[in-house]
Amino acid sequence: MWLIFLGLVSGSVIHGVNVCSETEVQGPYGAQFSGITWIAGTPKPAVGLARLVFNPDKTISGYSSVSFDGMLLGNPVTGTYEIKSDCTMTWSLQDGSGAFQHFSGTITPGGNKVEFRQTDPDAGQRGVMKRTSDACTATDLKPRYVFTTAGSTSTPNTGAGISFTVDPDCIVHIVFGDDETNLRGILVNHGAEILAIQTDPGETVSARFTAQ
């Protein structure tokens, strides 16, 4: 199975060297990733979105949604993580099938962002994780966003507008009006960004919305 995710820490700069503390990586994070998966035995493009909670006891809980070859799968995940003082970290995740995935990441000072990759053999996915909130409402959306997309589809037609619906766990459901393009996202960075993937059949697309 393919799932996701990762942990993160914060840090300070001393003489140009990032130093991180384990206590700075706690709470919920949103992650977006893309690459190649071997779920079906052959390499397939994949994009994914996850909400992970990093607990003080070094355990991880949450869930991950992955779209590979146009098929969307969702799984609850659990795991453990370890942070080093040089702001690197490793973690493992296990989904409902019992399968494990392993990851390695680098934390930016402050613990608000982690760039990561999967370290399992033949795994080609890379991504980014950013802090999200314990809970969200529609008021956390900013008045205006611009967006970029990457993947196997054309840019959605926004002529008829875009609708956003926010769940309490900060998951955002996005619909582009003209062609009813559907995306699933997560609010991060206090609503200043939305990390998202397209959920329509046959599409393997990631998107990022940035407040203006």
pLDDT by residue (tens digit) across 78-87?
Answer: 999 999 999 9
pLDDT the model gives residue 7: 29
Range among 8-17, 22-31, 49-58, 176-185 with highest mean pLDDT value: 49-58
Q: What is the 3-state secondary structure (H, E, C) of 116-157?
A: EEECCCCCCCEEEEEECCCCCCHHHCCCCEEEEEEECCCCCC
Check whether 40 has a pLDDT greater than 60. no
Which domains does the chain possess?
10-131 (2.40.128.120), 138-211 (no CATH)
Confidence of residue 39 (pLDDT cuts 50, 70, 90): low
Across the range 118-140, mean pLDDT stands at 90
pLDDT the model gives residue 200: 87
Confidence of residue 192 (pLDDT cuts 50, 70, 90): very high
Confidence of residue 72 (pLDDT cuts 50, 70, 90): confident
- Look at 26 and 185; give whichever has higher pLDDT: 185
Check whether 12 has a pLDDT greater than 60. no
pLDDT tens per residue, range 107-128: 988 889 999 999 988 777 899 9
pLDDT the model gives residue 66: 86
pLDDT tens per residue, range 152-161: 544 555 455 7
pLDDT the model gives residue 179: 67
Task: Name the pTM for this structure.
Answer: 0.84
Whether the Cβ atoms of residue 170 and residue 51 lie closer than 8 Å to each other: yes
Q: What is residue 190's three-state secondary structure?
A: helix
pLDDT the model gives residue 1: 32
Range among 12-16, 95-99, 205-209 with highest mean pLDDT value: 205-209
Confidence of residue 100 (pLDDT cuts 50, 70, 90): confident
DSSP H helical segments within the chain, as ranges? none
Across the range 50-74, mean pLDDT stands at 88
What strands lie across the sheet with 193-198, from one edge to the other?
Answer: 145-151, 205-211, 193-198, 181-188, 171-176, 162-166
The residue assigned the tokens 């035995």 is 41
